Structure 1
Amino acid sequence: MTVHKQIITNRVAFLEKKVPLYASALGLIGLLVLWEIICSTKIVSPLFLPAPSAIVVTGWDMLISGEITRNLGPSLYRIGLGYTIGSVVGILVGLILGFSKWADAIGTPVVYAIYPIPKIALLPLFVLWLGIGELSKVTIIALGVFFPVVINTFSGVKSVDQILIKAAVTFGSNHFNVIRKVILPGALPMIFAGLKLAAGTSLLLLVAAEMIAAQNGIGSMVLHYGNLMITTKLMVGVLVLSLLGLTFNRLLQWLENKLLPWR
């Protein structure tokens, strides 16, 4: 019996053992080393796949010259504004749909009917309606962010224990307090899942919008160097987008840890 307990204790300790921080970088480092080896052996032409070392050197030169900064600024403005608008509206609409039976009956079919439409396909229409300026780009990003956020928020509200809601109402809480103190905290895990999913969607729509209807931005820069077959600078743009997505994800994870310390 004692041996059995010891085995269980060892298994629990193994499952609870924390992974070192450096472990997260091992996979990425291994991929970069393999990539560099492949390029150094000339298996693939540098025209089609430049080496990571060449991309870093070129990226540093573009950073010093200010080219990256000139293109990154407009992209951050577009994605920041579009993501914020889409997230705020999505959370509010999701709370309303989840809390009100009438709103659920009327609004949910509309959301699920429009959601499957590829938002990139709507971009030319938005340019026609709103012009080639910033409004069309911000709007398409906000629309792409809105749907995953509203659907996850709605699902999160529906997953809240009904006993907690009834208990709050029984003790005299009004609708606003029930939403603020019971429904919203219970739905936050699903809301953050939607926000993380929407982060990837917003990057995709940002690049598409800048490739179609912009003279600046990271997406426009990638398209420009792709047309010129300057793949090293093209990969610098891809690297910037990757770092932007990683930073986005880390910020959302940090915010989730602050708002949901019990998780």
Structure 2
Amino acid sequence: MQHHKRHPWLARLSPIVLLLVWAWVAHIELISPRLLSSPLRVYQTFLELLSSGELQDNLLKTMYRLTLGFGIGAVSGLLFGIVMAVSRNAEDFFAPVFHAIRQIPTIALLPIFILIFGIDESFKIAIVVMLTFFSVALASYEATKGVSQNYFEVAQIYRLPTVTVYRKLILPAILLPTFTGLRIAFTRSWTILIASELLVADSGIGQMMQAGRDMFRLDIVLVGVVVTGLIGFAIDRIFKLGEKYLIPWRVAHN
């Protein structure tokens, strides 16, 4: 297979091109200034929100909801997926409902979650927990199912303790696909959290964007869009670095 030479500078060029096109469209007013603020105006608004502390306060609220919900969903999803894959009884009991619910778009469940949890903190955290749980549980379930049965037979022959089997056998074998599941879960959780804050919230990046829209301050909305995109991109890079250092053989095969 022919390998083409990669040009790292292309990855840095595309954001610059996007910024220049945005500035040009705003300058010639191809789109009304009321609908599209210039990059300079958005940057000035960003500095204003930063100096007032409004941006930091909203960002901290959003990150708190994401971290708590993602942590609970990831841990419970990992354990549930492994148990369902290892235990035939657990699989027979949980699998039909699990696979049915995970097919439902999370956005369609927002009204139900609002009715159950109201519009306070528990609603935003619960929606992140649910989305993360199903993504990670599916990844760990399928990864555990893919572990060769020979490993378990050897463990039985040597009568290894259950804890040792999980720690030395299952977890290393499912590390890579589970890590990929965590990345996907984070991306989806970040998106659905911002969407839920846009709908019902009294704080957070999504609420800041909604307030900006209500005041016809599209510069504030665009600050939220840019910050949301940059944070999502940055954390995805962190996951990629984690994959590189925690699973070095993954990099070796790429």
TM-score (norm 2): 0.90
Q: Which runs of 5+ in 2 are unaligned?
A: none
Match of 1:178 among 165, 169, 186: 165
Matches within 5 A, 1:55-94: 55-94=42-81
Indicate the residue corresponding to 1:114 in structure 2.
101
* Cα shift at 1:169: 3.1
Indicate the residue corresponding to 1:202 in structure 2.
189
Of 35-44 and 239-248, more deviation after overlay is shown by 35-44
* In structure 1, C-alpha distance between the alignment counterparts of 2:122 and 2:236, rounded to whole Å: 25
Secondary structure class of the residue paired with 1:262: helix
* In structure 1, C-alpha distance between the alignment counterparts of 2:40 and 2:188, rounded to whole Å: 29
1:144 aligns with 2:159: no
RMSD: 2.0
* In structure 1, C-alpha distance between the alignment counterparts of 2:213 and 2:173, rounded to whole Å: 46
Alignment coverage as a number of residue pairs: 250
* In structure 2, C-alpha distance between the alignment counterparts of 1:185 and 1:54, rounded to whole Å: 50
Deviations 1:106-164 (A, max 9, x none): 11111111112232333333333333321121111111111111111111111223333
* In structure 2, C-alpha distance between the alignment counterparts of 1:84 and 1:40, rounded to whole Å: 44
Deviations 1:164-190 (A, max 9, x none): 333333333233222221221111111
Q: 1:169 to 1:22 in 2, by over 3 A?
A: farther
* In structure 1, C-alpha distance between the alignment counterparts of 2:87 and 2:8, rounded to whole Å: 44
Structure 1 counterpart of 2:249, one-letter code: W
* In structure 2, C-alpha distance between the alignment counterparts of 1:39 and 1:132, rounded to whole Å: 37
* Cα shift at 1:252: 1.7
Indicate the residue corresponding to 1:3 in structure 2.
none
Of 32-41 and 242-251, more deviation after overlay is shown by 32-41
* In structure 2, C-alpha distance between the alignment counterparts of 1:154 and 1:218, rounded to whole Å: 33
Match of 1:169 among 143, 150, 156: 156
* Cα shift at 1:57: 2.1
TM-score (norm 1): 0.87
**Structure label with greater radius of gyration:** 1
Q: Which runs of 5+ in 1 are unaligned?
A: 1-7
Indicate the residue corresponding to 1:255 in structure 2.
242
User: 1:165 touches 1:183 (CA, 8 Å); kept in 2?
Assistant: no
Structure 2 counterpart of 1:84, one-letter code: G
Of 189-198 and 51-60, more deviation after overlay is shown by 51-60
User: 1:169 touches 1:178 (CA, 8 Å); kept in 2?
Assistant: no
Structure 1 counterpart of 2:160, one-letter code: S
